[in-house]
Amino acid sequence: MSVTDVGKKATVACPFCATLNRVDLGRLADRPRCGECKRPILLDRPIAVGDATFERVIADTEVPVVVDCYADWCGPCKVVAPILDEFAHDRAGEVLVTKLDTDRNPATAQRFDIRAIPTVLVFWKGRPAGRQTGVLSRAQLDALVDAAVRS
């Protein structure tokens, strides 16, 4: 899969106004903007999801979705954050990287039995396809996503 795969879509919440937007991942170079507030939607970095948007983002996105379950106070989560930032940048258009603050979104955290953070979940075709708890390297993250897509 490459960034030029026109037609692959993702549903994401605007980081400014929280409006859900449908984005063509093959056209990221055109710099998508929110349909409501017209501000940029940057998918070369992790994007926030919450209890209200999680299900729709997972169900409506046509590429693997990586969910970083974290909390602001968590030291190991801060170690994983730059790895996820780099991953999101390098694989923009191929994978959607999201962040779920487990303190602010307890319903989703409970639904997926998040008992330790950081926990990285991978969804493929709307279903859970991979999971890793604890700090992971970039190579481990790539392998987790690639294995989820092959399964």
**Residue 6: per-residue pLDDT:** 54
Pair of tokens at residue 76: 């190991």
Strands 127-133 and 119-124: antiparallel
At residue 16, what is the residue type?
Answer: F
The predicted model gives 109-121 an average pLDDT of 97
Catalytic residue among 14, 34, 69, 77: 77
Local confidence band at 1 (pLDDT 50, 70, 90 cut-offs):
very low
Name residue 30's beta-bridge partners. none
Q: Which fold is adopted by the domain 44-150?
A: Glutaredoxin (3.40.30)
Contact 94, 63 (CB under 8 A): yes
pLDDT at position 3: 41
Which tens digit of pLDDT belongs to each residue from 71-100?
999 999 999 999 999 999 999 999 999 999
69 part of the active site: no
For 95, residues 6+ apart whose C-beta sits below 8 A from its C-beta are: 63, 64, 65, 66, 87, 88, 145
Three-state SS sequence of the chain: CCCCCCCCEEEEECCCCCCEEEEEHHHHHHCCECCCCCCECCCCCCEEECCCCHHHHHHHCCCCEEEEEECCCCHHHHHHHHHHHHHHHHCECCEEEEEEECCCCHHHHHHCCCCCCCEEEEEECCEEEEEEECCCCHHHHHHHHHHHHHC
What's the predicted TM-score (pTM) here? 0.92
Task: Return the domain boundaries, the chain.
Answer: 44-150
> Is 74 annotated as catalytic?
yes
